[in-house]
Structure 1
Amino acid sequence: MTDTALVIGGTRFIGRHAVEDLIENDYRVTTLTRGNREDPFADDDRVSHVDGDRTNDRDLEAAKLSADPDVVIDCVAYHPADVEAATDLFADVDAYVYVSSGAAYGAEHVPKREGETPLEECTSEQATDDSDATYGNRKAAGDRGVFAAAEDGVNAMAVRPCIVYGPHDHTERLDYWIDRVLTCDRVVVPGDGQNLWHRAYVEDVARALRVVAERGDPGAAYNVGDRRALTLEETLETIAAVADTTCTVVPASADALAAGGLEPSDFTLYREYPHLLDTCALADLGWESTPVEEAMARSVADHRESDRDGSEWDPGREAEERVLGVKDTI
């Protein structure tokens, strides 16, 4: 008998890749989305679709009746109430997997480990907020909802990705750096280039969601990220290598950046303190990550085929040129 899966949110980025991974592994898949975006699976007879809002209990129930899922992958639970409603409704499924985040961690440990590194607290006000400032708090509260459901007998688990990148990445954070490498001979990076913000290739995240559904322990959380984490400078060098081009990475201190009216935080994927997740628990389930060179090559190829350029993250090339001018005089 073919296993069935319901993916709550399955047309944009992580959810889209989760659907692709599931159907490649012989699942019959149903997606639940509001229908606000083009459905990449509209012509795929292996994927059914239900229009609905996951925050509407009737829509969620309709999706359950339509899919009759063995597995539920919840990609768009942004508030703890979403997790509570889902773990209640899907209490009888074989596996409920909540997409949490590395942002749920509330302490700057290196690396961050499941069950050891404290999670963010979440007040009642934060639990219903929609701002970026409370994202980690809300994800942590969702994790605690998963743990509570598991104590009540629900086969619920959480997967915590760090920054996710790869094909169809609507955030365009990595696209900014790819565009810089492809179009500029010299690329300014903040600091000494050694800052580290752990990232996870999206196909690996999708595979992790399925592996956890199939083999994970109820009430457990699993970090997911590249098994080899790259510094920002290494990231640009890897982009250049797989793109068969060259560029000079120019590290710039805060003082040098000030010449262009810039600060380190003006650059996407910059983080002053290293963010690194321990992925051993997931690896123990048999999960493996894609080699970073291969993951980056696929990401660059997708960037070239898309119209994404990461311009919303652009601190301004003219400002960078002023920084480069200062660097040249030192």
Structure 2
Amino acid sequence: MLIIGGTRFIGRHAVEEFLDHDYTVTLFNRGNHDNPFTNRADVRHVQGDRGDDERLLAAKRDVEPDVVVDCVAYFPDEVRRATEIFADVDAYVYVSSGSSYAADDIPKREGVTRLCDCSPDEAVEDSAASYGPRKAEGDRMVFSAAERGVNAMAVRPTVVYGPYDYTERFDYWLHKVNEHDRVVVPGDGTNVWQRVYVEDVASALRIVAEEGEAGEAYNVGDRNALTLEDTVAEAASALDTTVEPVYASDRELATVDLSLTDFPMYRESPHILDTHKLAALGWESTPVREAMQRTVEEHLDSDRTGEDEGPGRQAEERLIGVLEMV
């Protein structure tokens, strides 16, 4: 099987998942990031840019994959071209996103909740604002390919956390909880932005490749969606420490030039994905406590702090001082 990407976060765990289930794995990527599988004889690496169709086609002819997992398709045209190149494989699985959904349904359901529209400009624009529309248009490329007879499917994770997360969004909270007795939590702590453990995304990719239906999309998210307040508490438990959350409204945050959305993992409206469709294929979610423990263990062994992903400690301490005077 061939994984496009495969060395950083979701792809790295996908490699391990497929290896654990007796697949022969080849990676296709530019080689710009450290390859954790360099010393693994059972993992091949073919170097190339996924935007170069000739290189991708050459890799296909060299590897002759039965399964292709596309971890780094960020533009709809990349998905379209990949589904054409790999039109005859047993399964092509596109890593989409829960950001594909335009509506705020609770929960968001495949085939029911409206997807983002994607304008021609958004389809080629590399920005955070166009991310959801681009992923949604990639989904539509999968649906179109399936209509042509390609066994193409999409997996839509919500916000992913776990070992080796280079985004450091979750490391921000782990570092704060581990280093300080009091941590500022935006709002009242009850906001819910469902997350998904990275190993569960990897298992979803394999299960969809084996059991999924062409032209279908499958949500993947923790079956137990924690509030931000509960997430901080679970992190403290896994770190074997205690922490006092200090809640702050947008108005209170503004006194130190902060806002609710400055904090990673904060979302004003709930974001929850229905995962029953994936579960019907045999997928299971790792219990949050177990997933948190594994995440914490790798975090402590890393040098990631996430400090650049949210408010600095000085701003937090100024805010705590302001709130104590109220």
Specify the TM-score bucket, using the shorter chain as the normaliser.
over 0.9
Match of 2:275 in 1: 279
RMSD: 0.8
Match of 1:70 in 2: 66
Q: How many residues align?
A: 326
Q: Is 2:105 the partner of 1:109? A: yes
Q: Which amino acid aligns with 2:29?
A: T
Deviation readout 1:174-213 (Å, 9 max, x if unpaired): 0000000000000001100001111110000000000000
Query: Partners of 2:324 and 2:215 in 1: how far apart?
Result: 55
Match of 1:149 in 2: 145
Query: Partners of 1:244 and 1:174 in 2: how far apart?
Result: 17
| SS in structure 2 at match of 1:223 | strand
Match of 2:212 in 1: 216
- Cα shift at 1:321: 1.2
Is the contact made by 1:162 and 1:277 (CA closer than 8 Å) also made in structure 2? yes
Deviation readout 1:61-93 (Å, 9 max, x if unpaired): 121122211100000111111111111111111
- Cα shift at 1:311: 1.3
Q: Which amino acid aligns with 2:303?
A: D
Q: Is 2:117 the partner of 1:126? A: no
Deviation readout 1:245-296 (Å, 9 max, x if unpaired): 0000111112221222211111111100011000010000000011000101
Q: Is 2:4 the partner of 1:8? A: yes
Q: Which amino acid aligns with 1:155?
A: N
Q: Which amino acid aligns with 1:163?
A: V
Gaps of 5+ in 1: none
Match of 1:265 in 2: 261
Match of 2:243 in 1: 247
Deviation readout 1:139-195 (Å, 9 max, x if unpaired): 000000000110111100000000001000000000000000000000001100001
Which segment is superposed worse, 62-71 or 137-146? 62-71
Query: Partners of 1:98 and 1:67 in 2: how far apart?
Result: 19
- Cα shift at 1:136: 0.5
Return structure 1 stretches of 4+ with deviation > 3 angstroms: none
Alignment of 1:163-178 (within 5 A): 163-178=159-174
| SS in structure 1 at match of 2:83 | helix
Match of 2:309 in 1: 313
Query: Could you tell me the percent identity over the aligned residues?
Result: 60
Gaps of 5+ in 2: none
Query: Partners of 1:244 and 1:311 in 2: how far apart?
Result: 21
Query: Partners of 1:49 and 1:66 in 2: how far apart?
Result: 11
Alignment of 1:89-100 (within 5 A): 89-100=85-96
Which segment is superposed worse, 305-314 or 252-261? 252-261
TM-score by structure 2 length?
0.99
For residue 197 of structure 1, the aligned residue among 186, 193, 196 is: 193
Match of 1:44 in 2: 40
